Amino acid sequence: MAAFSAPAKSGFVLPDVDRCRGCAICALACSLQHEGACSPQLARLYVQRSLLTEEPRLAMCLQCDWPSCYFACPVEAIIIDEKTGARVILQDSCTGCAICAKACAANTRGEIIRFNPASGKYFKCDLCLGRVEGPACVEACPWGALRYVSAVQR
């Protein structure tokens, strides 16, 4: 029987809900970085404020050590970046089958692995793959509510 080896560890963005004000500037920076437009619907993180308490809630991929999305993808459209360890959905390869989204235990509300109706494909946080400065959301947050934790720091 073949044994699976654990994938490389990844960095991740760590939210601090005590500092978050729910302004969604992080989501705007994310969608601008990835899509060239300020659209929270296309952000790789999800920010919502409670209508009753106005408390913010953040949801984003925490780049699991054992990424079920990666192992579930039938077309190998999810890769693990060699440099950062980020679990990345390759848009050119994604067929929009939703198996990755269903496999992710943290994605119960569809906020971690999200669907883009315009492209018919799924997307999630890729730690701003290739961006020298690191994740745009971390840099953009005026409250310091997001912190990048590298794979080395884990």
State the Cα–Cα distance between residues 44 and 40, nearest whole angstrom. Answer: 9
Query: Which domains does the chain possess?
Result: 12-149 (3.30.70.20)
Token pair of 33, please? 């970085």
**25-66 per-position pLDDT tens digit:** 999 999 999 999 999 999 999 999 888 888 898 999 999 999
By residue count, the chain amounts to 154
| 151 or 116, which is more confident | 116
Residue 1: is its pLDDT beyond 60?
A: no
**81-113 per-position pLDDT tens digit:** 998 999 999 999 999 999 999 999 999 999 999
What per-residue confidence (pLDDT) applies to 45? Answer: 96
State the Cα–Cα distance between residues 144 and 28, nearest whole angstrom. Answer: 16
Contacts of 144 (CB under 8 A, 6+ apart): 16, 19
Which DSSP category does 1 fall into?
-
